[in-house]
Amino acid sequence: MPEPIDFYFDFSSPYGYLASERIDELAARHGRKVRWRPILLGVVFKHTGAAPLTLVPLKGEYSLRDFARSARFLGVPYTHPAKFPLATQHAARAYYRLRDQDGGQAWERARAFAQAVFRALYVDGRDVSSLEVVLDLLATQGADREALSQALAGAALKEQLKAECAAALAMGVCGSPYMIVDGEPFFGVDRLPQMERWLTSGGF
Amino acid sequence: MPEPIDFYFDFSSPYGYLASERIDELAARHGRKVRWRPILLGVVFKHTGAAPLTLVPLKGEYSLRDFARSARFLGVPYTHPAKFPLATQHAARAYYRLRDQDGGQAWERARAFAQAVFRALYVDGRDVSSLEVVLDLLATQGADREALSQALAGAALKEQLKAECAAALAMGVCGSPYMIVDGEPFFGVDRLPQMERWLTSGGF
């Protein structure tokens, strides 16, 4: 089996959401799986000096138009959230908790949860920064709400997410979405066509 | 005749160069002309807080790889300049001087000069921040080297380039390349596919 594709994103990243709606089918066309790896862009921004796009002069107005147009271009439903940007640490920690549970389906279940978070935010307009909303979404994935509520309040998951973000930085992750294929990095949903050619030809 | 496409760029922008090698043929497929409009990214960065990509932690290393890979993806020759980033005010002023000369071919001649500047920098590795190199490139376009040397030393062209940059900011230009089609803005060489769909369908 070829190596899975690593897919880094922040749940609050519109371009991360757009990539999430296309990356698994793209990878599958080339016999690849995808490892979804939520991170916190705030940690990355401390290194790059960047800020949420919508808050940047000139780029802010353009970005709102570009999020919606890029979604139409890709055929993905998109409604810009009323609350934006927003904190996503609860959702990211819950993801890793699900992923590391026993059982061979853990990656798949965590992925289904991640997709539910993205769609709750960008299709249904729910405030996924809320712990209650995250727990509700976990419950719909068949998770034990009480156990996860306790886990999310503990120090272990906080440390784990910190470690995941540090590991992403060490891999060079400079924004969201960021994909790595056999060591080759691709930054941005607009790099999916390059990534696909890379998968097709083994580099170019 | 439909409106021309406005194409804003800085001569020091690798993605601007890549777009310059594709935009005229793309526009021509849809019966459009392109108005090339060099600006200074330094002026834009004062508003957006951005910095030359190669100098940004994490993004710097990625960007060098992405410039070269994006060039291969588009089939455009590219060698990263030894001196980078570099100042481009001489080249930009010379462009507007050529464009505003008498005669119906002024836009086309200025465009040919702009292409020569880009290729001198990204194919031949010449230091186009040098006034002498700019004058040499002007001479190969059949311009009067002595007259242009005097014009480039004067205040009028400096003021004109300032005004062009201010006008670009007023249009929302937030980086390079930045294209406007019938009022719709597209930022980045990776937005050319969206721009082409826009031209094909009159919006989407």
| Per-residue pLDDT tens over the stretch A45-60 | 999 999 999 999 999 9
Query: What is the rounded distance in angstroms from the CA atom of residue A81 to the CA atom of residue A13?
Result: 11
Which whole number is the average pLDDT over A169-180? 98
B61 and A197 within 8 Å at the Cβ level: the answer is no
Distance from CA of residue B71 to its chain's centroid?
Answer: 16
Q: Nearest-CA residue of chain B relative to A54?
A: B48
Which residue's structure tokens are 């409106």?
Answer: B3
Which pLDDT does position B103 carry in this prediction? 66
Question: Which residues of A fall within a CB distance of 8 Å from B194?
Answer: 69-70, 73
Query: What is the rounded distance in angstroms from the CA atom of residue B6 to the CA atom of residue B37?
Result: 7
What is the enclosing helix (H) or strand (E) of A131? Answer: helix A131-140
Query: What is the rounded distance in angstroms from the CA atom of residue B168 to the CA atom of residue B61?
Result: 29
The Cα of A141 is separated from the nearest Cα of chain B by a number of Å equal to 35
Q: State the average pLDDT for chain A.
A: 95
Task: Give per-residue pLDDT as tens, A139-166.
Answer: 988 888 899 999 999 999 999 999 999 9
State the sign of the Cα–Cα–Cα–Cα dihedral A73, A78, A84, A88: negative
Contacts of A150 (CB under 8 A, 6+ apart): none
B172 and A62 within 8 Å at the Cβ level: the answer is yes
A190 and B188 within 8 Å at the Cβ level: the answer is yes
Residues of A with CB under 8 A from a CB of B: 44, 47-51, 56-59, 61-62, 65-66, 69-70, 72-73, 169, 172-175, 185, 187-188, 190-191, 193-194, 197, 204
Give me B186's structure tokens. 């597209």
Nearest CB neighbour to A172, from listed B61, B69, B172: B61
A188 and B191 within 8 Å at the Cβ level: the answer is no
Question: Which residues of B fall within a CB distance of 8 Å from A189?
Answer: none
Strand partners, B9: B38
Task: Give per-residue pLDDT as tens, B47-89.
Answer: 999 999 999 999 999 999 999 999 999 999 999 999 999 999 9
B72 and A169 within 8 Å at the Cβ level: the answer is no
Q: Nearest-CA residue of chain A relative to B180?
A: A62
B59 and A190 within 8 Å at the Cβ level: the answer is no
Question: Which residues of A fall within a CB distance of 8 Å from B48?
Answer: 56-59
- How would residue A129 be classed by pLDDT, with cut points 50, 70 and 90? very high
Parallel, antiparallel, or unpaired for β B178-181 and B5-9? Answer: antiparallel
Asked if this assembly's ipTM is beyond 0.85, the reply is yes
Q: State the average pLDDT for chain B.
A: 95
Which pLDDT does position A1 carry in this prediction? 76
| Helices A41-48, A155-170: crossing angle, 10 deg rounding | 40
- For domain A5-201, the CATH architecture is 3-Layer(aba) Sandwich (3.40)
Question: Which residues of A fall within a CB distance of 8 Å from B44?
Answer: 58
Which pLDDT does position B173 carry in this prediction? 98
Dihedral angle over CA of A158, A159, A164, A168, nearest 10: 110
The Cα of A5 is separated from the nearest Cα of chain B by a number of Å equal to 18
Assess whether pLDDT exceeds 70 at residue A103. no
Query: What is the rounded distance in angstroms from the CA atom of residue A32 to the CA atom of residue A10?
Result: 22
Taking alpha carbons only, the member of A144, A138, A131, A147 closest to residue A88 is A131
Which whole number is the average pLDDT over A96-114? 87
- How would residue A101 be classed by pLDDT, with cut points 50, 70 and 90? confident
Question: Which residues of B fall within a CB distance of 8 Å from A61?
Answer: 172
Domain ranges within chain B, ordered by starting residue: 5-201
Which whole number is the average pLDDT over B159-173? 97
Nearest CB neighbour to B204, from listed A58, A59, A73: A73
Q: Nearest-CA residue of chain B relative to A191?
A: B190
